[in-house]
Structure formats: C-alpha cells, structure tokens
Structure 1
Amino acid sequence: MVTAVMQPYIFPYLGYFQMINASDTFVFYDDVQFIKGGWINRNRIIVGNQVKYFTIPLLKATPNKLINEIYIDTHSKDFKNILKTINQSYKKSPYFTDVFPLLEDTFAGTENRIGEMAINSIKNVSEYLGISTLFLKSSVEFKDITGLERTARLIEICNSTNADYYINAPGGRELYSKVDFLDKGISLQFIESQLSQYKQGTDEFFAGLSIVDVLMHNSREEVLGMLNLYSLK
C-alpha cells in the first residue's frame, strides 16, 4: 500500500497529480501552517502568450494560522475575475468545453475556506481523469495526533493507512530521513516528475504550469499517459 501526504494546492501542477495517481491513499495536510507566497492559493497559467499567476485573495492569511482556518475573500473583484481571465485565455483551446465546467464547479462551491476550495479543485480534476485514489483529510481522520513531531505524525498516518511506502515531493529530502521511516517498516521514496512538452499555442513551451493548462490542451487519455512519467527514488 502506498500513501502520500501533501498540503492542498489550488489546481496544482501535473506532478501533484502524478503523486496522487501513484498512491492508494492521499492525505490532504490541511491542518498545518499556512505558507504565504506558496502554492496553496495561487498557480500559473498562460495569459496573452505569457505566464501569469492567478491568485485566490484571502482574508487575514498569516503563517500563524492553519490552512483550514483561512477564508477566501469571495467579494473581491480579483476573485470574481479569475474565471473571466481563464475563460478569455483558454476559450479557443481544444478541450475548453470539457474542462471549464470543472473550474466553474470549483469556484461556485459553497465552501469559503481556501483549504476546502483547493481540495475540491483537486478532487474535481481527479474525478475528471478517472483517478480512484482514496482521499482523506488530516484535520478529520488524523486530528488526534496533531501534537506529534512532524516525522512521527507522518509515520503514524502511514501506519493508520497500512502503508508500506510513503511518497514525498523532492523537497522533502531536506526534511525527512529514509532511515527514520525504514526503522518503522516504511519505505520513504521521493517522486521525480518528468514533465513532457505539449502544444500550448505559444512560441515556447512553459513547463510546470497549473493542471488547468495541461487539461485545456490535452485529452483525458493524453493526460493519463503523462501521469505515468515519473520515477521513485
């Protein structure tokens, strides 16, 4: 059994979904510290042949709060303009009519916290692609072990999900030791994504954009093929 644990990001890049697809259980780490300037509430798309950020405006977002404690400024003009910008930028893309409803559904949700909106964006995309990974939330299923040290909590999550393998992003190499997990009978592996090029309608290819850009330009089958382009080390 394979488990992965990550903070919820808004329409994250392809590599995030590679991790989901490689896992039997994926835990949204939504009761940890909010990272300002990270990927929780923003990502990148192509606007006018250039890479631009779209950012979900938040209310009083600070690193002193947990992700699931932070609310979206839904009355902001910036929030209301995000869908308009994506519509204008991608309406001529080959899979616009299939993909844009996923965004509309995410933005039209009744939940007004960034953690839930990000989770919904990921679940909507996963359902669209037919990914069957089990999703859990740390704030629900693992709220009783928030007091544990960082590595100890992840090991406990792995034990609770019967994981033999724990997958982490490459940046986790600076935080976690394979030995610590192996001592508990768990193999810690880091996913190395291969981001293949695809037609974006631009003069040059921009890698690592939001999954929105990937979906707009590729069929489900093509995206599913991309999800398998990774290695575990």
Structure 2
Amino acid sequence: MKLAIMQPYFLPYLSYYKLLNLADKFVIYDDVNFINRGWINRNNILVGGKAHLFTVPLLNASQNKLIYEVEVSPDSVWRKKLLKTIAQTYRKTPQYETVFPFIEDIVNDTSESIADYCLQSLTKTVEFLGIQTEIVKSSRQYDNADLKSQNRILDICLKEESNHYINSIRGQELYDKTLFENEGIRLNFIRTVPTPYPQFKNEFVPWLSILDVLMFNSTDRIQELLQEYELI
C-alpha cells in the first residue's frame, strides 16, 4: 500500500496533487506546528501575466499552535475580494464557466480550522478530478505525538501497514532510506517539473495554484499532467 503524508495546503500547486494521486492513502499531517509565512494558507494565481500571492486570513496564527488549532477568519470580506480577483483574472479562460462555481463553493466553506478548510478544498478537488485516493487526517488518530520527524512518519507507515512511503523531493534531506527499509518499507521521492500549458498569450508562469491549472485545462488533460513525474 502506497502512503503519502503532507501538511494541509489550500489549493496547492499541481505537484501536490501528483503525489496525492500516486498514493493509495494520503494523510493530512495536521497535528504538527503551524508555520508562519508557509504555504498552508496561501498560494499564487495568475494576475496580469504574473504570479500573484493570495492569502487566507487567520485568527491569532502562531508557530506555537498545531495546524488544526489555527482558525480561519470568519470575515466574509476577504472571501468576496478573493473571488472577485479570481473572476476578473480567469473569466475568459476555457474552463471558467465550469470551474468558477466549484472554486466559489470551496472559498465560501465555513470550516473553522485552517486544517479542515484546506481538507475540504482537497477533497472537493480530488472528487472533481476523479482521483480515487483515500484522504485521512493525522490529528488525534495515531497517538504518536511523542515521536519526532521521520520516526513519527515511520510509525504512521507501520500503523497503516504501508509497504511503500512516497514523499516530496524536498524530503530527501529529512529521511533515511535504510531506516525505512529495515522495517520493510520502500521509500521514494517524487520529482516533478512544470509542464507548460497555454495561459492566454502570456509566457508560461509555472508553480501556480491548482486553481490556475483547472481554469486552463480540461479534466482529461489534467489527468495526463498528473502522470508526469519521476520517482527516485
């Protein structure tokens, strides 16, 4: 059973979904410390032909809190502003009529925790794209908060009876393949490169939110893009 574990991100970039699609089960790692100015509550979309950062406002966010303890601002103003920016930017894209109502539903979700807010965006996007991977949350499930770094990840793999753990390429410096192999678990890292797709008549801007991918590409084309990776 192929397992992947990642912190929750809101409408992350395509490579996140490549990892999710590759796994049989995907664990949302939401009971670790929140990272200020990370990618949990923000990402980039295309505005004026350039990457434009959008942010989900939070209440009293702190690195001393676990991710699932951090709350989303209930204020509706930021939601309206974000949706207005998205509408103005993408209204002439090929998939806008189908995708915008879907994104509107995601943005207007009323989940209080940023972990749950990200989770609903992931589950809805996965369903929209026809991805079959099971998604679960780590919080209050594995009873291993006393473990640290790769030992905690290894414990989750063992409890899930996984024989294959896949992590993002950035995990190469964090994980020891021998440690996993000694427990009968194959460890691989997914390496991806951005595949250009038409973004109006602009020069292609890579590494944007899945939102951008959805607006410019059919679900069939996205399924093809999800297969473009290398395991090392």
* TM-score interval, smaller chain: over 0.9
Identical-pair percentage: 44
Over aligned residues, Cα RMSD in angstroms?
A: 1.2
Equivalent residue runs for 1:26-37 within 5 Å: 26-37=26-37
Give the counterpart letter for 2:104 in structure 1: E
Give the counterpart letter for 1:155 in structure 2: L
**How far apart, in 1, do the equivalents of 2:80 and 2:182 lie?**
49
Aligned residues: 232
Find the counterpart in structure 1 of residue 94 from structure 2: 94
Find the counterpart in structure 2 of residue 145 from structure 1: 144
**How far apart, in 2, do the equivalents of 1:140 and 1:224 lie?**
33
CA displacement at 1:102 relative to structure 2: 2.1
What's the secondary structure of 1:185's corresponding residue? Answer: coil
Are the aligned partners of 1:25 and 1:161 in contact in 2 as well (CA < 8 Å)? no
Give the counterpart letter for 2:60 in structure 1: K
Give the counterpart letter for 2:119 in structure 1: I
* TM-score between both structures, scaled by the size of structure 2: 0.96
CA displacement at 1:154 relative to structure 2: 1.0
Find the counterpart in structure 2 of residue 177 from structure 1: 176
Find the counterpart in structure 2 of residue 48 from structure 1: 48
Equivalent residue runs for 1:102-141 within 5 Å: 102-141=102-141
**How far apart, in 1, do the equivalents of 2:193 and 2:48 lie?**
26
**How far apart, in 1, do the equivalents of 2:118 and 2:144 lie?**
23
- Would you identify which runs of 4 or more consecutive aligned residues in structure 1 move more than 6 Å? none
Q: 1:202 to 1:32 in 2, by over 3 A?
A: farther
Are the aligned partners of 1:195 and 1:226 in contact in 2 as well (CA < 8 Å)? no
Equivalent residue runs for 1:191-230 within 5 Å: 191-230=190-229
* TM-score between both structures, scaled by the size of structure 1: 0.96
CA displacement at 1:141 relative to structure 2: 2.7
Unmatched 5+ residue regions in structure 1? Answer: none
Unmatched 5+ residue regions in structure 2? Answer: none
CA displacement at 1:112 relative to structure 2: 1.9
**How far apart, in 1, do the equivalents of 2:159 and 2:136 lie?**
12
CA displacement at 1:20 relative to structure 2: 0.6
What's the secondary structure of 1:145's corresponding residue? Answer: coil
